[in-house]
Amino acid sequence: MEYRKLGNTNLQLSTIAYGAFAIGGNMWGGNEKKDSIAAVHAALDHGMTTLDTAPFYGFGLSEEMIGEAINGRDRTAIQLLTKFGLVWDGSNQGKGEFFFDAEHNGKPLSVYKYATKANIIKEVEESLTRLGTDYIDLLQLHWPDNTTRISETMEALELLIQQGKIKAAGVSNYSVAQLREAEATLKLASNQVSYSMLNRSIERDLVPHALENQIGIIAYSPMERGLLTGKYFNDGKLKADDHRHGYFGQFDLDRVQQFLERISPVAESKSATLSQLVLRWTTLQPGITVVLAGARNAEQAIANADALRLDLSAEELNLINVELSKLNR
């Protein structure tokens, strides 16, 4: 495993981090607790010491399972990353900015973006309880809340750093303009954003800004929720309530399949999977500090960690990039 310094902080994060969205179950067709706990254990045992979760993932379930999985382990050897700013319970519902309608345990509910100081303080205490810890290594705003001043959100994060409840503060899904406004109040450690072979829009402005201002970039959805594994094109079956039925519709699936077929010889020459090749390519892109990779079981977690063993030559990277340029025309 490789480790990289996050922004201007002292945090050293594993280059591939464990993404805990899927083990929350909601939007992913459920989950198996035993397999999920085993996946976290396998990730840690193979050097993937950075775990990224959020209250919204399973409406608290993902954080609870991460807390259970790390119980009894050396907390100082683990970097816990979680988030705040999405609310759904009765006391907060209707406050903030409406995001979307969801379902939990068969009951409909509405999710709002809500990042006031009072709500942040409340959410952090709930996350600490679920995670079974007394500090969070990196706390991140999950989505921008246009009903709350950015300065108020940043002031709350600054207070939490002073109190020792979080080591560093970051954001997710922020534009360059929002980063600039936030940093007028607080120096941010990172911005977690969507980035993949099929989605490289951040390279235009966000990556140059991050490099210039020592802001780490944490890339989520590098596999485009499993599409770039190639399994979807090989009789991969999704459960009826899996959100990816609609998500994959944004892509030209025939062209994606052809692209994966053209780069698969590179993976095969290294006795690696397409998933490992895609992850390794992503870690080598300028400005990318950490790449999140989800896993539902131990086997998948180990395979993700092993992606960093791939040594890609300049010629191989060029081949992949040439094929990507054809795909994105």
Residue 325, domain member (yes or no): no
How many Å apart are CA 299 and CA 313, to the nearest integer?
27
Query: Which residues on adjacent β-strands are paired with residue 195?
Result: none
The reply to whether 187 falls in a domain is: yes
Residues with a catalytic annotation lie at 57
Asked if residue 265 is part of any domain, the answer here is no
Instruction: Quote the number of domains for the chain.
Output: 1
**What's the pLDDT score for residue 32?**
74
Give residue 249's pLDDT: 75
CATH number at residue 56: 3.20.20.100
Domain region containing 77: 3-229+274-311
Over the chain (329 residues), the average pLDDT of each successive run of 10 is 96 97 59 85 97 93 94 97 90 78 82 96 97 98 97 98 98 98 98 96 97 98 89 70 73 88 95 96 98 93 96 95 86
Distance CA 22, CA 40 (A): 12
238 is a domain residue: no
Q: Could you please report the per-residue DSSP string of 181-208?
A: HHTTT----EEEEE-BTTB-GGGTTHHH
For position 29, what pLDDT does the model report? 46
- How confident is the model at residue 30, as a pLDDT? 47
Kindly give, in sequence order, each residue whose CB lies less than 8 Å from that of residue 27, ignoring residues fewer than 6 positions away: 102, 241, 242, 243
323 domain residue, yes or no: no
Quick check: is 268 in a domain? no
Q: Which residues pair with 168 in a beta bridge?
A: 138
Would you state the pLDDT for residue 225? Answer: 83
Flag whether 236 is in a domain: no
CA distance 28 to 24: 8
pTM: 0.93
Task: Look at residue 27 in the predicted model and tell me its pLDDT.
Answer: 46
By DSSP bridging, strand 216-220 and strand 16-19 are unpaired
Does residue 73 form part of some domain?
yes
Whole-Å CA distances, 9 to 4, 76, 194, 214, 322 = 11, 16, 22, 9, 35
Tell which residue, 301, 220, 290, has the closest CA to residue 3: 290
